[in-house]
Amino acid sequence: MKFLHKLAISTAIAAALMAGPASAAERIALVVKSLGNGFFDAAAKGAEEAAKEIGDIEVIYTGPTSATAEGQIEIINSLIAQQVDAIAISANDPDALVPVLKKAMDRGIKVISWDSGVAKDGRMLHLNPSDTNLIGETIIKLAADHLPDGGEVAILSASSTATNQNAWIEAAKEVLPTKFPKIKLAAVVYGDDDSVKSTNEAKGLISSYPDLKAIIAPTTVGVVAAAQVVTDQKLIGKINVTGLALPSEFKKFIDNGASEGVALWNPIDLGYSAVFLSDQLVKGKKAEPGATFSIGKVGSITLDDTNAAAMAAPYQFDKSNIEKFSKIY
Amino acid sequence: MSVQSTETRRIPDRLGTPLSAAVFSWPSLLLVVGLVLFVVNSLASPYFLSPWALSDATFNFTEKALIALAMALLIISGEIDLSVASIIALASTMMGLALQYGAGTSELVLIGIMSGLVCGAFNGFLVTGLGLPSIVVTIGTMSFFRGISYIVLGDQAFKGYPASFAYFGQGYVFWVFSFEFTLFVLFALLYYVLLHRTNFGRQVFAIGNNDVAARFSGIRVERVKFILFLLTGLMSGIAAVLLTSRLDSTRPSIAAGWELEAVTMVVLGGVSILGGAGTIQGVVLAALIMGLVTFGLGLLNVPGIVMSIFIGLLLIFVIALPIVFRKIRNRRR
């Protein structure tokens, strides 16, 4: 017992010594869905950038090996034990993480979610990569920017029941008459996020609408299929394929000219903004509906009724930056 | 004239003295490994030696360890149950369904445990009633049980469990001792008594060593094995109650991959994967060691993949050590 007692005391002293310099820096944990994912590695890069910009911040980049809620809970338990100042999480499950994150908040840790959210009770605020209206406007703008004289465009979506895509298309239809009067939406077809079906639907669009100037596919599967069809049918320069695409998958179609540019959330900015938000909470700012937070070079956000906010319009990729981003995700 | 010796020849009932046997036994080896890890962890991270940190750490392995207790008996008897994690998923789904029909806390617990028992009985029937190999049966039911959860839930979740239900996975009995961990300690004692201090326990060992001989000595092999499957189902049901309460929600992917972690604990605990040998003390220590390793590495923010490598190496090291030791000793002879 005496030995244990001595051990405990000496460790406590060691702890005090080690905790001394460590506690000077603010520690923000960036918890991601799983490690070894380029998207999240890029977010971590952005987080480091923000930490350098604000100064005196240590970013702990961590996540489970497989994308499970149980794995993230184990990690959060160890972060609570380390008494980090803030946890910024992209959650594998909106509900299962609530109890453990509540515990973290009870112990004085600031908790935010980003990218993939946690239910309202389990976090102080949530940062969406973008929002419906911004996405709807961006996908039309991507096509309109290269059509100064206007023209016919068509949308190749995922399945007809996909909640996300339907909301974006509705938002796109709303901005058409006011912001893009010269653009005419000829048709909306559904490729079900299936390569073969998307390819057939793209071919159908091209034969049904001979004056088609652009195909907009707000889905990573559809956009690749459409670009392949345009490439195969030697319509490069006549039809511009655009939409939401993963830079790594889509680089070859920007290189060959089938697409002038596409967009998607920028993970670097997400990680960067998550650190900015966490830091302000740690420094005492309250997260409440209507509060405005600065997110550094990305701009600023205002929280809505559920303490959530959208970061920015999807980030655009074209010839100038596709090389860099295709290596990231 | 020779004097009849009144001395009886002493035949040792075990090799070596009891003391050296105890010192060189598997649980002692694990105890040493555990203590070393404990000291290393306390030196490596200033946050390790805090009652609350250690208490939080127990949540990471308690449910799996509860299953490992029953799994140990099953593996000693020469069988295995790979469907335990899927039983958790199904039992949790059943609790969620009952919740939709307005079940209260006590009904939820009952339904969780009953679902576990039913799944265990199903496995038991297929193995002992139809005489199918348990590894094949439980690989099948592993997909079958979780499949039902996926059919019921799809990409949805059950949530909104009553506040009093949260106690089982989040509550504390006394100070830092969580309900989960207290339950684990109680069950560890119960299983120790069952395996090492009852006739039933001796029968389990006998079956694992030679089930034909066990049958000829009057042991009702099928009945014992059926009870063991029931017990594994029961523990999975209890784990389902605890985990559902801890997550405060049910998703069909709940407890994914836990069957292998439970088996790892059992094997690390010195239970022969071929059956016939093992101790509950070993399994309990193995559970604690796995908890210490993952939590200690977690405190140092070691990435999960490095942690898996570490657990794998630890397993190989602890398994290989006595075998290498024995080989060296045999060569000397």
Q: What is the DSSP string of A206-229?
A: HHH-TTEEEEEE-SHHHHHHHHHH
Give the chain B residue whose CA is nearest to the CA of A13.
B46
Question: Judging by DSSP bridges, how do beta strands A308-310 and A125-128 pair with one another?
Answer: parallel
Mean pLDDT lowest among A9-23, A31-45, A187-201? A9-23
Yes or no, beta carbons of A69 and B47 under 8 Å apart = no
Cβ neighbours around B318 below 10 Å, total? 19
Residue type, A170: E
- Non-local (6+) Cβ contacts of A124 within 8 A are A105, A110, A111, A112, A281, A287, A307
Question: Judging by DSSP bridges, how do beta strands A261-264 and A240-243 pair with one another?
Answer: unpaired
Interface of chain A toward chain B, CB-CB under 8 angstroms: 7-8, 11-12, 14-16, 18-19, 22, 35-36, 60, 62-66, 68-71, 73-75, 77-78, 80-83, 93-96, 98-100, 103
Tokens 């910024």 -> residue: A88
d(C-alpha A98, C-alpha A73), whole Å: 10
Question: Judging by DSSP bridges, how do beta strands B249-250 and A240-243 pair with one another?
Answer: unpaired
What was the pLDDT predicted at B155?
78
Mutant choice from A11, A28, A77, A107 vs B, greatest count of B C-beta within 10 A: A77
Q: Which pLDDT tens digit goes with each residue over A105-124?
A: 999 999 999 988 899 999 99
Could you tell me the maximum CA-CA distance found in chain B, to the nearest angstrom?
93
> Does the structure show a pLDDT above 90 at A29?
yes
Among A71, A57, A65, which residue's Cα sits nearest to residue A26? A57
Residue A80: band (very low, low, confident or very high) from pLDDT cuts 50, 70, 90: very high
Residues 36-95 of B with CB under 8 A from A: 39, 42-43, 45-50, 52-53, 56-57, 59-60
Torsion of CA B300, B303, B304, B307, to 10 degrees: -60
* B225 and B79 Cβ atoms separated by less than 8 Å: yes
Tokens 């405060």 -> residue: B248
* B266 and B77 Cβ atoms separated by less than 8 Å: no
Give the chain A residue whose CA is nearest to the CA of B158.
A95
Yes or no, beta carbons of A96 and B253 under 8 Å apart = no
d(C-alpha A25, C-alpha A31), whole Å: 18
What was the pLDDT predicted at A18?
46
Q: Does B154 touch chain A (CB under 8 A)?
A: no
Yes or no, beta carbons of A81 and B60 under 8 Å apart = no
Identify the three-state secondary structure at position B234: helix
Of the candidates B59, B253, B254, the beta carbon closest to that of A77 is on: B59
Question: Is the Cα dihedral A255, A256, A260, A263 positive or negative?
Answer: negative
* A221 and A157 Cβ atoms separated by less than 8 Å: no
d(C-alpha B114, C-alpha A273), whole Å: 48
Tokens 């319009």 -> residue: A313
d(C-alpha A245, C-alpha A64), whole Å: 26
What was the pLDDT predicted at A13?
45
What was the pLDDT predicted at A19?
44
Yes or no, beta carbons of B256 and A60 under 8 Å apart = no
Tokens 């967009």 -> residue: A263
* B83 and B258 Cβ atoms separated by less than 8 Å: no
Give whole-number Cα distances, B192 to B147, B189, B289, in Å.
34, 5, 18
Yes or no, beta carbons of A93 and B49 under 8 Å apart = no
Yes or no, beta carbons of A11 and B42 under 8 Å apart = yes
d(C-alpha A84, C-alpha A63), whole Å: 15
Cβ neighbours around A275 below 10 Å, total? 32
Give the chain A residue whose CA is nearest to the CA of B303.
A62
- Non-local (6+) Cβ contacts of A233 within 8 A are A203, A206
- pLDDT above 90 coverage of chain A, percent: 49
What average pLDDT does chain A have? Answer: 87
Q: Which residues of chain B are under the pLDDT cut of 50?
A: 1
Q: Please compute the mean of the pLDDT values over residues A95-103 and round it to a whole number.
A: 94
* A136 and A172 Cβ atoms separated by less than 8 Å: yes
d(C-alpha A265, C-alpha A128), whole Å: 10
Domains, chain A, with CATH or none: 24-128+267-311 (3.40.50.2300), 132-264 (3.40.50.2300)
> Does the structure show a pLDDT above 90 at A1?
no
Q: Please compute the mean of the pLDDT values over residues A243-263 and round it to a whole number.
A: 90
Domain ranges of chain B: 61-262
**Residue-wise DSSP of B296-308:** HHHHTT--HHHHH
- Non-local (6+) Cβ contacts of B106 within 8 A are none
Residue A243: both structure tokens together = 């939409």
Yes or no, beta carbons of A99 and B59 under 8 Å apart = no
Yes or no, beta carbons of A80 and B56 under 8 Å apart = yes
* A6 and A37 Cβ atoms separated by less than 8 Å: no
Give the chain A residue whose CA is nearest to the CA of B42.
A11
> Does the structure show a pLDDT above 50 at A15?
no
d(C-alpha B321, C-alpha A312), whole Å: 57
Chain B residues whose beta carbon lies within 8 Å of the beta carbon of residue A93: 157, 247, 249, 251
Residue B82: both structure tokens together = 């790979």
> Does the structure show a pLDDT above 80 at A163?
no
Give whole-number Cα distances, B163 to A147, B2, B60, B102, in Å.
58, 84, 22, 14
Chain B residues whose beta carbon lies within 8 Å of the beta carbon of residue A22: 46
Could you tell me the maximum CA-CA distance found in chain A, to the nearest angstrom?
88
Yes or no, beta carbons of B45 and A35 under 8 Å apart = no
Chain A residues whose beta carbon lies within 8 Å of the beta carbon of residue B49: 8, 11-12, 15
* B170 and B245 Cβ atoms separated by less than 8 Å: yes
Yes or no, beta carbons of B256 and A66 under 8 Å apart = yes
Of the candidates A35, A66, A74, the beta carbon closest to that of B60 is on: A74
Residue A12: band (very low, low, confident or very high) from pLDDT cuts 50, 70, 90: very low
Mutant choice from A6, A35, A78 vs B, greatest count of B C-beta within 10 A: A78
Of the candidates A11, A78, A96, the beta carbon closest to that of B247 is on: A96
Yes or no, beta carbons of A12 and B304 under 8 Å apart = no
Residue A297: band (very low, low, confident or very high) from pLDDT cuts 50, 70, 90: confident
Interface A:B, Cβ pairs < 8 A: 113
Name the burial class of residue B30, with classes exposed (0-12), middle (13-18) and buried (19+) by CB atoms within 10 angstroms of its CB. Answer: buried
* A185 and A214 Cβ atoms separated by less than 8 Å: no
Point out which residues pair with A113 in neighbouring strands.
Answer: A89, A126
What was the pLDDT predicted at A79?
94
Yes or no, beta carbons of A82 and B48 under 8 Å apart = no
Output b/e per residue, B43-61; b: 16+ Cβ within 10 A. Answer: eebbbbbeeebbbbbbbbb
Stated as kind and residue range, the H or E segment containing A302 is strand A300-302
Q: Which pLDDT tens digit goes with each residue over A213-239?
A: 999 999 888 999 999 999 999 999 899
Q: How far is Cα of residue A265 from the mean position of the Cα atoms in its chain? A: 5
Chain B residues whose beta carbon lies within 8 Å of the beta carbon of residue A15: 46-47, 49
Yes or no, beta carbons of B298 and A78 under 8 Å apart = yes
Q: Does B96 touch chain A (CB under 8 A)?
A: no
Residue A150: band (very low, low, confident or very high) from pLDDT cuts 50, 70, 90: confident
